[in-house]
Structures are given as structure tokens and as C-alpha cells.
Chains A and B, each alone.
Chain A
Amino acid sequence: MLDTASRPFLEVAGLESWYGESHILHGVDFNVRRGEVVTLLGRNGAGKTTTLKSIMGMVGKRKGSVRFEGTETIGLSSDKIARLGVALCPEERGIFSSLNVQENLMLPPQVKPGGLPVEQIFELFPNLKERLSSQGTKLSGGEQQMLAIGRILRTGATLLMLDEPTEGLAPVIIEQIGHTIGRLKAQGFTILLVEQNFRFASTVADRYYVMEHGKIIDSFANSELAANMDKLHEYLGV
């Protein structure tokens, strides 16, 4: 039997996805080990968000293999994948505007034991505690992002997929989110991050994969970031 520490926690192989007639992912291969923070980098339209949605089973059609803790999830529906312990915090955050902060926080079902208790979520995001009765619509962008991350921490999900958590946020909030990701990693969560802002990603990530045209074109560890800077500038056009 394979040692669970050495076996990839998430193993994506030959993943192809379609939105209607549009073929978006053309065979994506990568893996994430338990307890790692892995970042997908790439230009707009490279397929980063689609990769997360495909892992979550939220695209029209997909092919290939996505194994989570050894379980093949390619044929499973989105709710079943969530119940295995995979959680997605989408780019648009998906806060339910007619529910207040507390209801949004308590809404997701607990899928596994080991989720963070609410007190610990408030410790990570003190702003949420102050706005428990506020409607989802009345939150600032930063608060919405905190709530979107906070509510998937309660569920006991062990793989957190965060899609551009820093988009459109003030530097001080970005710093707070970076600090939170660090703490979650220290607590043993595995995180798959999608970021355009690799300066932010470099503060939290262990490894990077670079995507282009629906494929992984490169990968390197955080320690190799400096050496790969020129290539990265070329890939990302920054």
C-alpha cells in the first residue's frame, strides 16, 4: 500500500473540458500533495478557473481523470465531490445576498469532521463577527471574500480551491488573506490557488504550475521562482 504522504492528494491527468461546443481544457496534468499550497498561474483565458470548476464538476462536459485521495471523481456530480471534502471559493465569491453573514456561514453542510469551529473563523476574520446580521449584499468586497473563504472552512473540506482571492481588494486585505492562507496551511489544509498576482502567490505557494491555452506548460517550486522570473514574465506578459 502506498504511503498516504507520498501519494498525491489530488491527481489530475489528461483533463479535458468543454463549455457547450467550446473546448477549453486540452489535457491538463498536475498533482497536489497533502498539505501543500499549489498555485496555478496564467494569463486571462488560459483555463485556470475552468480547471477548478472541472475538478468541482461544474462544467458541461469533461474527460480524463481527477483523483482525490485516490477516489476517481470524474463521473461524480458536483455535490458528491463536495461531500468528499473538496471546496471551491469562486472568483465571483457566490455570497447569497438575501442571507445574512451568519446564515451564509452556517449554510454549507458539514462534509467531514475537522472543520474549523466558528470561533476560529472569527479569529481569522474578525470583520465577519462584527457583521453577523448584515445582508450579503451590504458587505464590502473584502468582507465578501472573507465570508466566501470562511464558510468553506467550517465544512471540514480538506482541499480548498481559491479562485483569485485577492482580485480587486485593497493591499491591507490582500495581506490579511495571505496571512490566513499561511495559517490554514499550518493547520494542515491543502490549498489549490489560482492567481494572476504572482507577487502575492509567492508569499504563500510551495509550487507553481503555469497554464496556457488549456494546458500546463511549466512547473517549478517556490525556491526556483527567482531563477524562473524571466520565463514567468514571458508567460504572463507582465
Chain B
Amino acid sequence: MTAQAITSSAAIDAAKRRDEMIAFAVMALFLLVAPAIIYPFFLMQALCFALFACAFNLLIGYVGLLSFGHAMFLGLAGYVSAHMAKTGAVDIGPLHLHFGPVDPVLAIVCGVAASAVLGVITGALAIRRQGIYFAMITLALSQMIYFFCLQAPFTHGEDGIQGVPQGKAFGLIDLSHQTTMYYFVLAVFLAGFLMIHRIINSPFGDVLKSIRENEPRAISLGYKTDQYKLAAFVLSAALVGLAGATKSIVAQNASLTDVENAMSGQVILMTLVGGLGTFFGPVVGAFIIIAMQNYLAGFGQWVTVIQGAIFVACVLAFRRGIIGEIAHRLGLSL
């Protein structure tokens, strides 16, 4: 009987893995052929936001930390990578380095590094508090970063950084070709997505989930939970940075839009609509919100009202979000 029980336990695990693998294969296949039917620039933009939402979900969905300021990582990484790809000049205090326009991949790496460093600084301050106080600290810090981006000379204030060259990735792959750029962005997105999946399914991910559920208990088992929360915060910031940096190379510009509070709100909306704490929910949520902004642009200001209505409907009718609800109804792990 025990042997049967263990076999069935293993079977449940295998079924869970199979559900996730099938869903991943369907998503990857769809994204591979999607540019044939959907405008690639829209897809690239949606993929960047999908990665943004997935990285945000790592923090809210699996550690239970609601950040109201995640746009600071998206925006800063965008500015840094756009600046590096365009001018490659580093002027900080006595440091004056002029590399000239750098490889887009290196520019993205610089953007990710900038977000990670910002993540360490803001995370170290914010994780000292929980709940609404954590949210307020991240909000305040993101406002400071917004002000910095408005004032710092390299961001060009209201004008932003325009005409960022797309260049050649690794000096070989010409990203100015739209299809090539699309598959480059898809590779970045899938790598980021799989990394998040790996983090969540690792023993480290289990500790994060235990902190979300009962932090005092996790501490009394012997974990320094602050270190785990900070590590998760920095990972999330770096992955958001990856999304922001890639987005600035795709759109060839970096502007204040990506660092505004409204953007921090958008990512919460994407994650909730898709399904908090699900792997695929934030991707679906991001595609829906970005599609609405693009294809309902004709409604002007009404897009915001429609978004608000969808948000209210989501919270009232299906709080698990779209993917969360589907997974629950079908008994799947998504």
C-alpha cells in the first residue's frame, strides 16, 4: 500500500511537471510563429512587459512582497542601456570613461547591473518593513529615482534618450532587422521566464514561499529571512532590468514613461489580471493590457476606464486571475 502511495505521489509530481511543460511548449510554439500573424513590434513590446510582470510576480506571488515602485528598475535599466548603446560614456564624479556606442548585449548587461545595484540599495531599506510599509517605502524610493531620471543630464529629462542604435548583438547578429530582433527578444524573454521558473522550484524558492506564509516560523527554523527577501528582491530587480534594457533597445528610446508611478501600477494590474502566483498568468496579463493599450488606442482616455473596469471585474469575479482561474477549474498547475 505504501509503495502504491509513493508511486501516486510521484505521479502527482510528474503530472504537475507535465502540465507546466505542455503549457510552456504551447507558449513557446505560439511565440515562435506569432510574428507571421501579429505585428512583431507589438509582440516585442508585449514580451518585454511580460518579463517585467513575471519578475514582479516573483516578488509578490512567491515572497508576498508588494512593491509599488518596480518601475524604477524598468526605467533605470532602460536609460542606462540606451545611454550605453548610444554614447557609451561614463561620467561619474572623477571617473570619465568613453567607450563609444557599445554592443547592444553589453548595453543590456549594463542596464541589468544598474537595476541590480539599485535593487540592493532599495531592497536593503525596504525589506526591513512588511505589508503596506514595504509598499510605501518602495513607492517613495521610486519617486526619488523618477526625480533623478528627470534631472540627471544623461537622461535628457523630458526628451529622454532618442534614436538608440540597435546595432549588432555580439558584433554578429544584426538587430536592426525586425525579425532578427524579434527572435532575440524572444530568447531573452524565454531565458528570463525559465530562470524564474527554476528559482521558484528550487529549495531557495521553497524558503521564499515559507517566508510568504509564516515568516516568524521560517526564522525559528533557522533562516535569516531578511537575506532571502533581499536576494529575491535583487533577483526581481535584475530581471525587471533585463526587461527594461531590452525594451529600450527594441523601442530605440528611453523615456520617463517607464519610470513613472503609473508604470508600477500597470505591472500590478498585469499580474492580477493574469493570475498572481502563477507562472503563465503575468505573461497573459501583460499581453492583454498591452493589447488593450495598442488596439484600443482609438478610444483615447477611455482605455484607462476600460482597464479600471477589467481590474474591478477581475477582483470581484475571479480573484485568481485568468490563468489562476483556468488552472483551478481544470485542476492544473500553470
A binding-site residues for B, Cβ under 8 Å: 56-58, 77-79, 81-83, 87-88, 90, 94, 96-99, 102-103, 106-109, 111, 126, 129-134, 152, 155
Contacts and interface: CB of A to CB of B under 8 A. Distances in A.
A129 B9 CA distance: 9
B207 interface: yes
B223 A109 contact: yes
A79 B223 contact: yes
A150 to B, nearest CB: 13
B222 A83 contact: yes
A56 B213 contact: no
Interface in B200-259: 203, 206-207, 209-210, 212-214, 216-217, 219-225
A130 B2 contact: yes
B12 interface: yes
Contacts of B214: 94, 96
B169 to A, nearest CB: 39
B5 interface: yes
A110 to B, nearest CB: 9
Central interface residue in B1, B209, B213, B222, by most chain A CB within 10 Å: B222
Contacts of B262: none
Given A83-B222, A108-B222, 12 more contacts: A79-B224, A82-B219, A82-B222, A90-B217, A96-B210, A96-B217, A99-B210, A107-B221, A108-B221, A126-B2, A130-B5, A133-B9
Nearest to B216: A58
A106 B220 contact: no
A149 to B, nearest CB: 13
A115 B277 CA distance: 33
Given A56-B220, A79-B222, A131-B9, A103 B213 contact: no
Interface of B: 1-2, 5-6, 8-10, 12-13, 203, 206-207, 209-210, 212-214, 216-217, 219-225
A109 B221 contact: yes
B222 A132 contact: no
Contacts of B1: 130
A107 B219 contact: no
A130 B210 contact: no
Contacts of B207: 107
Nearest to A110: B222
Is chain A's binding surface mostly helix, strand, loop or mixed? Answer: loop
A78 B214 CA distance: 14
A78 B219 contact: yes
Nearest to B16: A133
20 contacts: A56-B220, A58-B219, A77-B219, A81-B220, A82-B221, A83-B222, A88-B220, A90-B220, A96-B210, A96-B214, A97-B213, A99-B209, A107-B207, A108-B222, A109-B221, A111-B222, A130-B2, A130-B9, A131-B9, A155-B221
A126 B5 CA distance: 11
A98 B213 contact: yes
B6 A94 contact: no
Contacts of A57: 220
B210 A132 contact: no
Central interface residue in B6, B207, B221, B225, by most chain A CB within 10 Å: B221
Nearest to B8: A133
A126 B224 CA distance: 32
Contacts of A106: 203, 206
Nearest to A82: B222
Contacts of B219: 58, 77-79, 82
The 7 closest A-B pairs by CB, nearest first: A82-B222, A133-B9, A130-B5, A94-B217, A132-B9, A133-B12, A108-B221
B2 A78 contact: no
Contacts of A133: 8-10, 12-13
A82 B220 contact: yes
Contacts of A131: 5, 9
B237 to A, nearest CB: 24
A34 B2 CA distance: 36
